[in-house]
Amino acid sequence: MDRKIFLLACVTGALGVVLGAFAAHGLKPLLSISAFESFNTGIRYQMYHSFLLFFIGLSTDIKPNQKSILFKLILTGVLLFSGSIYFLATNDLTPLNFKVIGFITPVGGLILIASWLLLFTYFFKKKQ
């Protein structure tokens, strides 16, 4: 499981850097200030959760089944939260209307919050 967690952390981290560079150099002149800031919010949260994945993978205090649950929650949350923000922020650059997926962003955010709270409960319940 740790290998999968580290691989996901590396992929989401690398994609965060790529998307950040793409936004700064390619999208900035094309997006409104608000859309650009939203896109960067998606990148920022993606990167935060890449670091969280590294922490989870390195932790010896989290059981393998708990790591598996956290892995799935964080992957789903990042895809829904950051992914939907990327589409919504670039909505004006495409003929597709991504505003119909706007409800996905808070769902992804709730899943990310759930992963943090679950991690808290794992550590809270852990015997000293």
CA dihedral 39, 41, 47, 53 (to 10 degrees): -120
Distance of alpha carbon 87 from alpha carbon 98, whole angstroms: 6
Residue 86's domain spans which residues? 2-125
8 A C-beta contact, residue 105 and residue 58: no
Instruction: Calculate ∠ Cα 27-33-34, nearest 5°.
Output: 105
pLDDT-based confidence at 45, cuts 50/70/90? very high
Least confident residue range of 20-29, 52-61, 92-101: 92-101
Q: Do 78 and 46 form a contact (C-beta atoms < 8 A)?
A: yes
Above 90 in pLDDT, residue 7? Answer: yes
DSSP 8-state code for residue 26: I
pLDDT band at 68 (very low <50, low <70, confident <90, very high): very high
Within 10 angstroms of residue 117's Cβ, the number of other Cβ atoms is 12
Q: How many domains does the chain have?
A: 1
